[in-house]
Amino acid sequence: MKTQILDHGYLKLIRSAGSDEDIIEAARMSTDKGFLGWGPLHAPGCQQYRPSTPKAVHAKACCDGIAGDEKLLKYLYDNKHATPFEFAWMVIEVQAPIFVFREWHRHRTQSYNELSARYTPLPDLNYIPTVERLMMNAGGSNKQAGTIAGANQLTPELAELHRRRLYDTYSEAEKIYQHALADGVPKELARIHLPVGRYSRMRAAACLRNWLAFLTLRMAPGAQWEIRQYANAVGELIAEKFPRTWELFVK
Amino acid sequence: MKTQILDHGYLKLIRSAGSDEDIIEAARMSTDKGFLGWGPLHAPGCQQYRPSTPKAVHAKACCDGIAGDEKLLKYLYDNKHATPFEFAWMVIEVQAPIFVFREWHRHRTQSYNELSARYTPLPDLNYIPTVERLMMNAGGSNKQAGTIAGANQLTPELAELHRRRLYDTYSEAEKIYQHALADGVPKELARIHLPVGRYSRMRAAACLRNWLAFLTLRMAPGAQWEIRQYANAVGELIAEKFPRTWELFVK
Amino acid sequence: MKTQILDHGYLKLIRSAGSDEDIIEAARMSTDKGFLGWGPLHAPGCQQYRPSTPKAVHAKACCDGIAGDEKLLKYLYDNKHATPFEFAWMVIEVQAPIFVFREWHRHRTQSYNELSARYTPLPDLNYIPTVERLMMNAGGSNKQAGTIAGANQLTPELAELHRRRLYDTYSEAEKIYQHALADGVPKELARIHLPVGRYSRMRAAACLRNWLAFLTLRMAPGAQWEIRQYANAVGELIAEKFPRTWELFVK
Amino acid sequence: MKTQILDHGYLKLIRSAGSDEDIIEAARMSTDKGFLGWGPLHAPGCQQYRPSTPKAVHAKACCDGIAGDEKLLKYLYDNKHATPFEFAWMVIEVQAPIFVFREWHRHRTQSYNELSARYTPLPDLNYIPTVERLMMNAGGSNKQAGTIAGANQLTPELAELHRRRLYDTYSEAEKIYQHALADGVPKELARIHLPVGRYSRMRAAACLRNWLAFLTLRMAPGAQWEIRQYANAVGELIAEKFPRTWELFVK
């Protein structure tokens, strides 16, 4: 159940805990009630009555139905009552280029454990963007993905040329790495010329509130396209595990 | 499955996620290996060989057996490599006097949702310590549980007298509360004379690392006896869900 | 320089560090430039030229002037680039009722050191709202400051009556407190019937980003009126020390 | 006042706030007293009496003198009462190789603003360890700085060879970088082959408690030598600004 991302990356769910219902339950601590139910709730006499409806609801329900807990979830979300969304949690594993992890690790509310090149030689996986990706902002619409002043207009040919250069420099870096390791250079120093496009791997854990904060920044149009692909994959996991919260988030 | 605590309190597990194995898995990200197994691991030829032993272990194992992942867990714990312990998570629900919550909420790494007297009148539950509890430090051994200078030596009779005073003042406070509410005093103001011995209720979530940090402070002899009872109950949940980590903690 | 708040509370600045300029300097790390200047900046030939204008600005400036660093500050603020606002910091001391501190301490990004009733008997200061304050929501416009269902309409006479009851119950609580302390009840137990309207005192420290997050929630109309008075006083300190950031915040 | 570190790095103080005295003042909130004084304090009758000694001290002091606030500071430190150490704060600016920042940013209690290669081409500064540094662990005493299994024993000649290879690969990387930028490759993609030994620059802010936590891990013998040089420089700043706390830390 890995989502493949970029040329050698992936993202997969290790574990999720809690649910949309748990968020309601946590929020209801403040009013001394629990989760009541989703969807319109109906009184005992009503055709659409479900026996599982809790007693507290029976008392108030009428045949027009009363709003279920979607309403509270929406209220919490819209009014930034954020702490109930801390009562769900998710752990993922992700393989991504180092420059993606550099952005990712600025989020100080997640837990991280990453492959360490001090302990283990890094696998020889390096990111080479496609021509299409390189050309993506050739129109210049995204300021944050801009070129330097006075640069040429990138063409598919120049993009392809850059890809070949990347391939060559990555290969050369790997050769030097292997030489250095074999020569007895400590692992922690043998790696310092490796490129930020090299892949690494980590596990990351956070509560739902903090995953959403991550997505708010990293799914935004101003975020670098590469980390956006990972953010989108996190979003898909949330959509699956916390569908009602996700619906509120994407709106 | 509630643990009863003090005269009207409780603590119960809502949800735990992850396990001792997950901690190992997270830690092994740094060396690119996963969980290998608990207990001595043996080579294929050996009598005690288990076919589930991963290949990486086969290579190194011999008939004397090699140490299982307990060794890594102990290494992580002893050397304060704390981040792997962030890959397990636990939510509890707890009913406790407000003065206990006042201490609890100083732990800024947990998530809280608490009953709010602004929204819901607080139930009439108030903490009255037993005579035994009141006399606990009569010898004066615990400095942090001290009396004022020049105080009498507390006797069981004086302790019983104090309990009666508590009972009376709690009853009076409740009476005033109900009057105020009935008179139309807003809930948020009707509650301000309520005692810090009044019970409230909350859910709390944290990762295992932060639960252990909580216990380090709140199971310590210098902690107030009341919060220690709650900390002990959290400890029992950890002992059940993360037995190998717990063993390292209590040592 | 204390701001008096409620009947016995106060708030005062202990120390602030950093400035609006420091926020710009921190933000400019990302583009390798420092603080340039506030207000329109002009080229050397221009009448309004100031010699302190940095070289980087000279190059671009023209006699129409170019926008100063207000523009960047506004950009940062409007686009929620929040980390530069972590490069300023403020410590305050505050005396407030315990129920105010209960709300305050839910902000987990501040540092707290509070008077402890385990170590020192609490001074006999208790909050009694004015009649005006008690009547504030008599129209019922603020849902979060609501009364219970079926309550009377509060009148000034009932409000005054409640104030007298508060006064009496506070006095009684203090009497019991002093008895208990004198009888040898440990300080940590002698205090448990004290009301949440009793004053306590603390120091709190946070970076500017987190002070603003506190104000966003606690200056909002839905916040309890009492904590809003404290939040307003924090706001005045920020207005004085970080005037340009404050201007963006209040807009 | 920059400390030069490695071949092109530096660390400098931008701002510190608070002092050893402020830590005492914050801690004394819990007992309702302020900072009393350093060194032995004497009673009014005593020859060494200083009129500035606060009244609370007079009462207890005798001609043998009583311990000053060093004693409380030591008590706080030794007993891990950590929150008072959050009432001092320090901002630094630091230039270091990316692989050092990769380790640094795992500390989630600091605030960061770093040079961004998405916005500004990175200056052409790259870390080349000295032969002495490369040979530092040739004896193999530091496990965490180990070589791969089966590696040669590093010699000064092999070390020098590696330095030349580093120099060449860094030069080649810069050439490709400039080509890519000129060809119109967006800055955010033109940089992905740059090595983790390339220098970047940032500001970092934290309270004293969290600076000490950083030093505990990064001044430890198991930390990579490069980040240890930066940690040592942070330590020198703390020694200067918070000398009494520093003394307790290094013990």
Q: What is the DSSP string of A156-192?
A: HHHHHHHHHHHHHHHHHHHHHHHHHHHHT--HHHHTT
Compute the average pLDDT of residues D169-176. 98
**A12 vs chain D: nearest CA distance in angstroms?**
22
Note the residue count of chain B. Answer: 251
pLDDT at A62 exceeding the cut of 90: no
Q: How far apart, in whole angstroms, are the C-alpha atoms of residue D20 and residue D18?
A: 7
Percentage above 90 pLDDT, chain C: 75
Q: Please tell me which residue, D1 or C146, carries the higher pLDDT value.
A: C146
Give the mean pLDDT of chain D.
Answer: 90
| CATH entry, C3-127+197-250, from 3.30.1360.170, 3.30.930.10, 1.10.150.120, 3.40.50.880 | 3.30.1360.170
Q: Are A194 and A177 in contact (CB under 8 A)?
A: yes
Q: Are D203 and A176 in contact (CB under 8 A)?
A: no
Q: Are B145 and C186 in contact (CB under 8 A)?
A: yes
Q: Are A140 and A212 in contact (CB under 8 A)?
A: no
Q: Which of B33, B89, B199 to mutate to test the interface with A (most CBs of A within 10 A)?
A: B89
Q: Does C127 touch chain B (CB under 8 A)?
A: yes
pLDDT at C244 exceeding the cut of 90: yes
pLDDT at D40 exceeding the cut of 70: yes
The sign one gets for the Cα dihedral B147, B148, B153, B155 is negative
The residues near C26 (Cβ < 8 Å, ≥ 6 apart) are C83, C84, C86, C87, D113, D203, D205
Rounded CA Rg of chain A: 24
Compute the average pLDDT of residues C25-30. 90
Band of pLDDT at residue D106, cut at 50, 70 and 90: very high
Q: Please tell me which residue, B148 or C139, carries the higher pLDDT value.
A: B148
**Could you tell me the two tokens for A210?**
């903090």
Q: How far apart, in whole angstroms, are the C-alpha atoms of residue C125 and residue B92?
A: 35
pLDDT at A67 exceeding the cut of 50: yes
> Rounded to 10 degrees, what is the CA torsion of C240, C242, C245, C247?
20
Per-residue confidence (pLDDT) for residue C65, from 0 to 100: 58
User: From the candidates B209, B218, B228, B244, which is the catalytic residue?
Assistant: B218
Per-residue confidence (pLDDT) for residue B99, from 0 to 100: 98
Q: Does A220 touch chain D (CB under 8 A)?
A: no
Per-residue confidence (pLDDT) for residue B62, from 0 to 100: 53
Question: What digits encode the pLDDT tens for the residues C228-241?
Answer: 999 999 999 999 99
Residues of A whose CB is below 8 A from B14 = 22, 25
**Could you tell me the two tokens for B197?**
């011995």
Per-residue confidence (pLDDT) for residue D151, from 0 to 100: 92
Per-residue confidence (pLDDT) for residue B34, from 0 to 100: 79
Rounded CA Rg of chain B: 24
Per-residue confidence (pLDDT) for residue C178, from 0 to 100: 97
Q: A223: how many CB neighbours lie within 10 A of its CB? A: 19
Which range among C181-185, C208-212, D25-29 shows the weakest confidence by mean pLDDT? D25-29
Q: Please tell me which residue, D250 or B61, carries the higher pLDDT value.
A: D250
Percentage above 70 pLDDT, chain C: 87
- As a three-state string, the secondary structure of D33-60 is CCCCCCCCECCCCCCCCCCCCCHHHHHH
Q: Which of D111, D209, D241 to mutate to test the interface with C (most CBs of C within 10 A)?
A: D111
Per-residue confidence (pLDDT) for residue B59, from 0 to 100: 47
Domain spanning A1-37+58-126+198-251 has what CATH number?
3.30.1360.170
pLDDT at B11 exceeding the cut of 80: yes
Q: How far apart, in whole angstroms, are the C-alpha atoms of residue B168 and residue D159?
A: 82
pLDDT at A145 exceeding the cut of 80: no
CA angle B203, B7, B100 (to 5 degrees): 45
Per-residue confidence (pLDDT) for residue C42, from 0 to 100: 65
Q: Please give the residue of chain D at the shortest CA–CA distance from A194.
A: D195
pLDDT at B9 exceeding the cut of 60: yes
Compute the average pLDDT of residues B29-57. 68
pLDDT at D210 exceeding the cut of 50: yes
pLDDT at A226 exceeding the cut of 50: yes
Q: Are C186 and B147 in contact (CB under 8 A)?
A: yes
Across B230-239, b (16+ Cβ under 10 Å) vs e yields bbebbbebbe
Compute the average pLDDT of residues B42-48. 64
**Could you tell me the two tokens for B68?**
């299982």
Band of pLDDT at residue C50, cut at 50, 70 and 90: low
Of the candidates A151, A166, A189, the beta carbon closest to that of D193 is on A166
pLDDT at A58 exceeding the cut of 50: no
Q: How far apart, in whole angstroms, are the C-alpha atoms of residue B225 and residue C188?
A: 10
Residues 47-106 of chain C with CB under 8 A from chain D are 83-84, 86-87, 89, 91, 93
Per-residue confidence (pLDDT) for residue D52, from 0 to 100: 61
Q: Please give the residue of chain D at the shortest CA–CA distance from A143.
A: D119
Question: What digits encode the pLDDT tens for the residues A71-102?
Answer: 999 999 998 899 999 999 999 999 999 999 99
pLDDT at A59 exceeding the cut of 50: no
Rounded CA Rg of chain C: 24
Per-residue confidence (pLDDT) for residue D68, from 0 to 100: 81
Per-residue confidence (pLDDT) for residue C36, from 0 to 100: 82
- As a three-state string, the secondary structure of A118-153 is CCCCCCCCECCCCHHHHHCCCCCCCHHHCCCCCCCC
pLDDT at C54 exceeding the cut of 60: no
Q: Please tell me which residue, C52 or D14, carries the higher pLDDT value.
A: D14
The residues near C109 (Cβ < 8 Å, ≥ 6 apart) are B108, C206, C207, C210, C213
Compute the average pLDDT of residues D62-87. 85
Query: Could you tell me which chains touch chain D, where touching means 3 or more CB pairs under 8 A?
Result: A, C
Q: How far apart, in whole angstroms, are the C-alpha atoms of residue D158 and residue A16?
A: 49
Q: Are A83 and B111 in contact (CB under 8 A)?
A: yes
Compute the average pLDDT of residues A14-42. 87
Nearest to A87 by CA among A14, A17, A32: A17
Interface touch C15/D22, C-beta < 8 Å: yes
pLDDT at A114 exceeding the cut of 60: yes
Nearest to D222 by CA among D146, D153, D139: D146
Interface touch B185/C159, C-beta < 8 Å: yes
Query: Could you tell me which chains touch chain C, where touching means 3 or more CB pairs under 8 A?
Result: B, D
Which range among B68-82, C206-220, D10-24, D202-216 shows the weakest confidence by mean pLDDT? B68-82
pLDDT at A217 exceeding the cut of 50: yes
Q: Are D111 and C87 in contact (CB under 8 A)?
A: yes
Compute the average pLDDT of residues C65-79. 85
The sign one gets for the Cα dihedral D166, D162, D94, D9 is negative
Per-residue confidence (pLDDT) for residue B187, from 0 to 100: 95
Per-residue confidence (pLDDT) for residue B42, from 0 to 100: 65
The residues near A65 (Cβ < 8 Å, ≥ 6 apart) are A40, A41, A42, A46, A48
Interface touch C184/B138, C-beta < 8 Å: yes
User: What is the pTM (predicted TM-score) of this model?
Assistant: 0.92
Taking the domains of chain C in order of start, what are their residue ranges?
3-127+197-250
Question: What digits encode the pLDDT tens for the residues B163-213?
Answer: 999 999 999 999 999 999 999 999 999 999 999 999 999 999 999 999 999
pLDDT at C190 exceeding the cut of 90: yes
Interface touch C22/D29, C-beta < 8 Å: no
Query: Could you tell me which chains touch chain B, where touching means 3 or more CB pairs under 8 A?
Result: A, C
Question: What digits encode the pLDDT tens for the residues D154-165?
Answer: 999 999 999 999
Scanning the structure block, which residue is given the tokens 């739902």? A208
Per-residue confidence (pLDDT) for residue A138, from 0 to 100: 73
Cα–chain-centroid distance for residue B167?
28
CA angle D172, D174, D179 (to 5 degrees): 95
Per-residue confidence (pLDDT) for residue A66, from 0 to 100: 61
Interface touch B87/A18, C-beta < 8 Å: no
Nearest to D133 by CA among D226, D219, D218, D215: D226
The residues near B216 (Cβ < 8 Å, ≥ 6 apart) are none
Compute the average pLDDT of residues B227-244. 98
Q: How far apart, in whole angstroms, are the C-alpha atoms of residue D84 and residue D26?
A: 5
The residues near A22 (Cβ < 8 Å, ≥ 6 apart) are A87, A88, B14, B15, B91
Question: What digits encode the pLDDT tens for the residues C125-183?
Answer: 999 999 999 999 876 667 677 899 899 999 999 999 999 999 999 999 999 999 999 99
